[in-house]
Amino acid sequence: MLDECKKNFEFSGNSISNGVMATAIHYDLPRATELRVQIYDLTGRVVRVLHEGRQNAGVHTLVWNGVDAAGHPVSAGFYFVVLEAENRRLTQKVVVIK
């Protein structure tokens, strides 16, 4: 399933700066599945969970606004968006610039 999804897993931008405080994650699921989308920092710590649960087939968009689970802005640096489904992972790097 994720092999099919990988072709349709993209971002509208891969950086967050003071002027633009969000990045959109677009993906297309070929069928309904349990899905988790999380943001990780360079140490492997989960910074924020964007989605966890069942999601229907089709095109979806999630937005990360550069804040952690507590609502605090994250520090400048590299982060990873990880999409997990059916024991597979897709990863995309995001840069936060302050």
Q: 């910074």: which residue's tokens?
A: 47
The Cα 82–Cα 36 span in angstroms is 8
51-85 pLDDT, tens digit each: 999 999 988 989 999 999 999 999 999 999 999 98
Confidence (pLDDT) at 50: 96
Determine contact, residues 5/37, Cβ cutoff 8 Å.
no
Tally of domains within the chain: 1
Residue 47 sits in a domain whose CATH number is 2.60.40.4070
Lookup: tokens for 40 = 């990780």
Query: What local confidence, expressed as pLDDT, does residue 74 receive?
Result: 94
pTM: 0.83
CB atoms inside a 10 Å sphere around CB 75? 12
Domain with 45, as residue range(s), is 2-96
Instruction: Considering only residues 59 and 49, tell me which one the structure prediction assigns the higher pLDDT.
Output: 49
Query: Is residue 17 within a helix (H) or strand (E), and if so which, with residue range?
Result: none
Q: Which residue has the tokens 């609502």?
A: 71
